[in-house]
Amino acid sequence: MNFITIDLRPVLSILGIFLVGLSAAMLIPAATDLIYGNLGWQDFLISAVITSFFGLMFFLISRGNENKLNTKGAFLIVTLSWIILSVFSSIPFLLSNNILSLTDAFFESVSGLTTTGSTIINDLNNVSEGIIVWRSLLQWLGGIGIIVSAVSILPNLGVGGMQLFKLEGSESSEKLMPRTASLATEIIILYFILSSVCALMYWFCGLSFFDSTIHAMTTIATGGFSSNSESIGGFNSHSLEYVCIAFMILSSLPFVLYLKTIRGKPRALFVDEQVTGFFKTLLLSFLLIMVFLSFNDNFDFSSTLRNVLFNVTSILTGTGYTTSSYDDWGTPAIIIFLAITFIGGCAGSTTCGIKVFRLQVLLKNSGQVMNKLISPNRVTNHKYNGENLTLEIVESVMTFLFIFFVTFVIIALILSFTGLDILTSISASATSISNVGPGLGNIIGPSYSFAEIPELAKWVLSFGMLAGRLEFLTFLVIFSRSFWK
- Domain ranges across the chain: 1-100, 131-485
pLDDT at 64: 64
pLDDT at 43: 95
Q: What is the pTM of this model?
A: 0.92
Cite the DSSP H helix spans in 125-172: 129-152, 154-157
pLDDT tens profile 364-389: 888 887 877 787 777 677 788 887 78
How many angstroms separate the Cα of 107 from the Cα of each of 55, 69, 86, 111, 450? 22, 30, 9, 6, 9
pLDDT at 68: 67
pLDDT tens profile 399-410: 999 999 999 999
Q: What is the residue-averaged pLDDT of the chain?
A: 88
pLDDT at 147: 85
Question: How far apart are alpha carbons 430 and 439 in whole angstroms?
Answer: 8
**pLDDT-flagged residues of the chain (< 70):** 1-7, 64-70, 156-159, 161, 164-180, 379, 480-485
Sign, CA torsion 336/339/342/348 = negative
Question: How far apart are alpha carbons 338 and 345 in whole angstroms?
Answer: 15
β-pairing, 387-388 vs 383-384, is antiparallel
pLDDT tens profile 265-306: 888 888 999 999 999 999 999 999 999 999 887 878 899 999
pLDDT tens profile 167-222: 544 444 444 455 667 888 899 999 999 999 999 999 999 999 999 999 999 999 99
In eight-state DSSP terms, residue 230 is: T
